[in-house]
Structure 1
Amino acid sequence: MADTVKFTAMKDGDKEDYEFLTAHEIDYAAKTGDRLLDALVQLDEGLSGYKITRLGHSLQAATRAWQDGADTDWIVSALLHDIGDIYAPYNHDEYAAAILKPFVREQCTWVVEKHGDFQRLYYAHHLGGNRHARDRFAGHAYFDDCDQFCERWDQSSFDPDYETLPIEFFRPFVLEVFARKAYDPAVIRAGERVALTDPDTAKTRTGA
């Protein structure tokens, strides 16, 4: 079997070429979760100045989500919400949302995509900016979810003394999500809302 396609310009490819490429792409896509976990580690070398690294922040946000009884979609969304910081510092929220979009609920994708505007509530006024940028989304079905995502898990997760779970703890969650069929309507669940917190599940996880 050939190691590459026969063509040098896509218009010259045939059925055999594209079936060959499709098989390679399926194999490659199956390892997306592992690549994302590796990419998360790079956040340890990202933007400085905070009391913890960007990786530490991501892990802490996911830990808080897990301790709140959040489901897998929320936990993985919290873990990956800032993964765009290295490669897309001016639209990191959109970058992260694009990664998540085929594999998590529409609700989670929207929240991650908009969290940058919602986070401005906490700091923009100190820099002469508009802290109420999020108000343009007022009335949206997921507005309150993004508000709670930022309040409970994002803005609060810069604490060096918080007992944060390690990245390996979250590996099974990430691999589960990115092993799903892309854009499966049963996963996307357009228009549905799932609470960020589940007190009963939280009790089983924290013993509180």
Structure 2
Amino acid sequence: MTDTADRTEANAAHAVAERAGFTSFEESTAQDWAIIAPQLEVTQSLVADRVMSLLRDLESDHGGFPVNRLEHSLQTATRAERGGEDDEYVFCALIHDIGDTLSPYNHPDIAAGIVKPFVSEANHFMVKNHGIFQGYYFWHHLGMDRDAREEFRGSEHFELTERFCEVYDQTAFDADYESLPLEHYEPLVREILRGA
């Protein structure tokens, strides 16, 4: 069976699955939870589809930047891949800004929430805090403290996050850069999000 057929089957199974009968957790029973628990695996099997859809949605918003948000994400991932980073790091580079159109003011938290069960503590820290580290390059133009990242100076992941922003993230706004397409990264997204 193909991945597409598997996903279609999972969606169909999810839609018709038996449901628990409680109206509050307090009145739930072990039998209710025996119905609910297996559905977590089904829901998790659909996460990669939803992440891919969110990534595609980034194409419709440029936020005033020289490239749209999807292109920025693709450039960041492509630069990381071409820079020799491992798959987990490249995955993080791809989805680090996935929350930009959902919640611009705390977009790193959205991406960090998605990646946390699937990546190392170091890469999770990098995704979660990249917004503050990225501020070094432009916050002073907005009257903000460009050195806000210094609050994390004692972290063992400071240099990793600093380098991510310096080498891959803040350089990924070049309209002439030839990024790899989103389809190139789909197998990686599906592999990593398969399950914790």
Give the match for residue 115 of structure 2: 100
1:76 paired residue number:
91
Q: Where does 1:20-169 land on structure 2 (aligned, <5 Å)?
A: 20-169=35-184
Q: Distance in 1 between matches of 2:96 and 2:21?
A: 40
Q: Deviations over 1:57-93 (max 9, x none)?
A: 0011000111111111100100010011111211111
Counterparts of residues 3-18 of structure 1 (less than 5 Å): 3-18=18-33
Of stretches 4-13 and 169-178 in structure 1, the one that deviates more from structure 2 is: 4-13
Query: How far apart are the structure 2 equivalents of 1:75 and 1:177?
Result: 11
Separation in 1, partners of 2:17, 2:92? 39
Aligned partners of 2:179 and 2:44: how far apart in 1? Answer: 29
In 1, the alpha carbon distance for the partners of 2:35 and 2:195 equals 22
Stretch of structure 1 that moved more, 8-17 or 96-105: 8-17
More helix by percentage: 2
* RMSD of aligned Cα (Å): 1.5
Tell me, yes or no, if the aligned pair for 1:58 and 1:81 is still in contact at 8 Å: yes
Query: How many residues are aligned here?
Result: 181
Name structure 2 gaps, 5 residues minimum.
1-15
Shift of 1:47: 4.2
Q: After superposition, what is the alpha-carbon deviation per residue over 1:155-174, rounded to whole angstroms, capped at 9, x for unaligned?
A: 00011111101111001111
Which residue identity is paired with 1:76?
F
**What amino acid does structure 2 have at the position aligned with 1:125?**
H
User: Using the alignment, how far apart are the partners of 2:93 and 2:49 within structure 1?
Assistant: 17
Larger RCO, structure (CA 8 Å, separation 6 or more): 1
Moved more, 106-115 or 47-56: 47-56
Q: Normalising by the residue count of structure 2, what TM-score does the alignment of the two structures yield?
A: 0.88
Q: CA deviation at 1:10?
A: 2.3
What is the TM-score with the length of structure 1 in the denominator?
0.83
Relative distance call for 1:95 and 1:2 in structure 2 (3 A) is closer
2-side partners of 1:134 and 1:2: how far apart?
47
Amino acid at match of 2:113: A
Partner of 1:185: none
Whether 1:177 aligns to 2:192 is: yes
